[in-house]
Amino acid sequence: MSNSKVNSAKGRRYTAKEKADIIAYVDKVNEEKGRGGQSAASKKFKISPLTISSWIRSGAGGGSATVSAGGAAVAGPIGKKLSKLQALHDQIARTEKELAKLKAQFNSLKSAL
């Protein structure tokens, strides 16, 4: 197989400014509609939603990035919402674990009656 065939499968490369503009568009749509920014950007700029998602996670384009509890960088207002959701999820998980302990104690005392 020749080198030209291997290289042709790589796809288009985007500059940091192009990435930033696309991520800004995603954030704008998400602010206006609450969601759907990636899909809208994918259709408008003819880019895979997975590519856009990858840029957002990596903080590509120099946008404001927030680090989620899992360590992945998420850009813009969506990142803030995801961070808050993650914190709430963690709090719920801790509370459910405590509730399970309390139920076990309750059932143990109840069976001792």
**Per-residue model confidence as pLDDT tens digits over 17-40:** 889 889 989 988 988 888 889 999
Helix (H) or strand (E) holding 22: helix 16-33
Question: What are the strands, taking DSSP E only, across 12-113?
Answer: 65-67, 73-75
This prediction's pTM: 0.47
Q: How far apart are CA 34 and CA 109, in angstroms?
A: 48
List pLDDT tens digits, range 51-66: 998 888 887 654 444 4
Residue 93 has pLDDT above 70, yes or no: yes
3-state SS, residue 57: helix
Share of the chain above pLDDT 70, in %: 76
Domain positions in the chain are 13-111
Per-residue pLDDT, 68 = 43
Beta carbons of 92 and 99 less than 8 angstroms apart: no
Q: Phi and psi of 36, rounded to 5°?
A: 90, 5
